[in-house]
Homo-oligomer: A and B are copies of this chain.
Amino acid sequence: MKDFYLEILHIDKQTGARYGILHTPHGDVEVPMFMPVGTLATVKGLSPEELKSLGTGVILANTYHLSLRPGADLVQKAGGLHKFMNYDGPILTDSGGFQVFSLSENRKITEEGVHFKNHLNGDKLFYTPESVIKIEEKLGADIIMSFDECIPYPVSYEYAKRSTERTIRWAKRGLDAHTRQDQALFGIVQGGEFEDLREMCTRELVKLDFPGYAIGGTSIGEPKDICLKMVDYAVKHLPKDKPRYLMGVGSIDYLLEGIARGIDMFDCVLPTRLARHGALMTSTGRVNILNAKYKDDLTPLDPNCDCYSCKNYTKAYLRHLYVSDEMFGKRLLSIHNIRFLIHVMEGARRAIQEDRFGDYLKLTLSAFGDKRGF
């Protein structure tokens, strides 16, 4: 796929972190990058223009959710996700593997695919590696994901092995089913917490020569050291010239630790979900905007932030909107949290280019703490 490739421009001498440009059919974006999540073809509350003004490159959308509402056929008829949601930058669709996992009470996995019930009305669904690719082709994102099984944590070695082997077979089936030349289909490395399974999965997927690779089965409750080991196990065997995507993490420590290990792409609902709950990531620590001490606080949310919300509004106003359940409050808080993470990523990219990413990581984590969920 000639329109899609990663151009590595610099490797940080302190850590091996990568800086580069990801070329996509909908434009070039810098990596490492954080990708905001727009589950239902909308990053909750924000316009595409706002997202771009925050420095957003790729945004995510969810295959599972969109196939239920409004349906992949409609999105296709509308000219694909880009036109449907008015975002002309690159879009990535996940495969629904994680959603099937999170609906696990109702799922039954066979070699052919997964039977499960949808969360809206309980209707029975059957996803196969081929059917998921067909949906993703209709949605028309630039980057699409293989259908995988997200392995629970903790899990037995035997279960993980059986599941990982099946995920590899599914990846092959998805690749065979995929026909659109303007989409990059990524393979997803599974294998649980087991080094040999992660290695085996990575090696087998690399043989299939995907244009990019994700590390999956992360951010599902495993401790951070386990998650980072999973990354190490996979990265070791991944090709250097292909993009690497660590799925579902969005706290600063994970982002920076991931970058240090050679990861290029991250996604998470964390910044927008936290914002909707009034929890803000700031350069001076976490802010819960509901806290009574902000009632009369006429300073910006984050004095070091350049976002629209911080430049134009006070904590007192943001708290007032939040307390009054005003839509505009959630919008302003979401803008800030997304900008905050993108700002940290911009700093990371500069640090890599200047061979000081190790220092940047240490400084940033000591300033913001090393707590998940920040």
Shortest distance in angstroms between A305's beta carbon and chain B's nearest beta carbon? Answer: 16
Q: Which residues of A contact B (CB under 8 A)?
A: 40-42, 44-47, 69-70, 74, 77-78, 84-86, 295-296, 298, 308, 312-314, 316-317, 319-321, 323-324, 326-331
Q: Tell me if B45 and A328 are in contact (CB < 8 A).
A: yes
Q: Which residues of B contact A42 (CB under 8 A)?
A: 321, 326, 328-329
Tell me whether B296 and A69 are in contact (CB under 8 A). no
Give the distance in Å from the alpha carbon of A313 to the alpha carbon of B324 in the complex: 29
Residue of B nearest to A311 (CB): B86
Known: A77-B298, A78-B317. A44 touches B326 (CB 8 A): yes
Which of B77, B85, B317, B331 sits near A45, CB closer than 8 Å?
A: B331
A70 with B316: CB separation less than 8 A: yes
7 closest A-B pairs (Cβ-Cβ)?
A: A45-B327, A70-B320, A86-B312, A42-B328, A40-B324, A42-B326, A327-B327
A91 to B52, CA, bound (A): 31
Cβ of A91 to closest chain B Cβ, rounded Å:
14
Partner of A328, one of B47, B312, B321, B328: B47
A46 in contact with B328 (CB, 8 Å)? yes
10 contacts between A and B (CB under 8 A): A40-B321, A45-B327, A45-B331, A47-B328, A70-B316, A74-B295, A84-B317, A86-B312, A86-B313, A327-B331
- Give A293 Cβ to nearest chain B Cβ, in Å: 14
Do A323 and B78 touch across chains, with their CB atoms under 8 A apart? no
**Cβ 8 A contact of A78, one of B45, B308, B314:** B314
* B296 adjacent to A77 (CB under 8 Å): yes
B40 touches A74 (CB 8 A): no
Measured CB to CB, the closest approach of chain B to A328, in angstroms, equals 5
Whether B328 contacts A44 by the Cβ 8 Å rule is yes
| Known A45-B331, A296-B77: A40·B317 in contact at CB below 8 Å | no
Q: Residue A320 contacts which of B69, B298, B317 (CB distance < 8 angstroms)?
A: B69
Minimal beta-carbon separation of A37 from chain B (angstroms): 13
Min distance, Cβ A281 to any Cβ of chain B, angstroms = 20
- Known contacts A70-B320, A295-B70: does B78 contact A327 (CB below 8 Å)? no
Contact A323 B74 (CB under 8 A): no
Tell me if B78 and A298 are in contact (CB < 8 A): yes
- Nearest to A65 among chain B residues (CB) is B324
A314 / chain B contacts, CB cutoff of 8 Å: 78, 84
Interface contact B327-A41, CB-CB below 8 Å: no
Distance in angstroms between the alpha carbons of A46 and B331 in the assembled complex: 9
Shortest distance in angstroms between A214's beta carbon and chain B's nearest beta carbon?
26
